[in-house]
Structure 1
Amino acid sequence: MSEPLPPKRRNRASLAYQLRYAAKNPDKIRSYLGRVGRDLKFRLVSRDHVAYYRAVMRSDVAKDPEAAVGSRSHERWLALGRMQADYLIEHGLKPDDRLLEIGCGNLRAGWRFIDYLDAGNYYGLDISPDILLAAQNILVRQDLREKLPHLTLVNDLKLRFLPSEHFSVVHAHSVFSHSPIEVIDECLVHVGRVLVPGGFFDFTFDRTEGPEHHVLREDFYYRTETLISLAEKHGFSARFMDDWEQLPHGQSKIRVTRPA
Structure 2
Amino acid sequence: MLAPPRTVIRREAGLYALEQALQRRGFQHVAGADEAGRGACAGPLVAAAAILPEGKRGEIPGLADSKLLTAATRERVYDLVVAKALAWSVMIIPPAEVDSRGLHVCNLAAMRRALASLEIRPDYVLTDGFPVDGLGVPGLAVWKGDRVAACVAAASVLAKVTRDRLMVELDATFPEYGFAVHKGYITEEHSAALTRLGPCAEHRFSYVNVAAASGRGNRPPRARRPVSAAVPSLFDDVSVTEPLLIPETAEGTVGVASSEQPQPSPSVGEDKAMEGEKR
Question: What TM-score do you get using the length of structure 2 for normalisation?
Answer: 0.28
Report which of the two has the higher share of helix. 1
Kindly indicate whether structure 1 or structure 2 has the higher relative contact order, using CA contacts under 8 Å at least 6 residues apart. 2
Larger Rg: 2
Question: What TM-score do you get using the length of structure 1 for normalisation?
Answer: 0.29
Report which of the two has the higher share of strand. 1
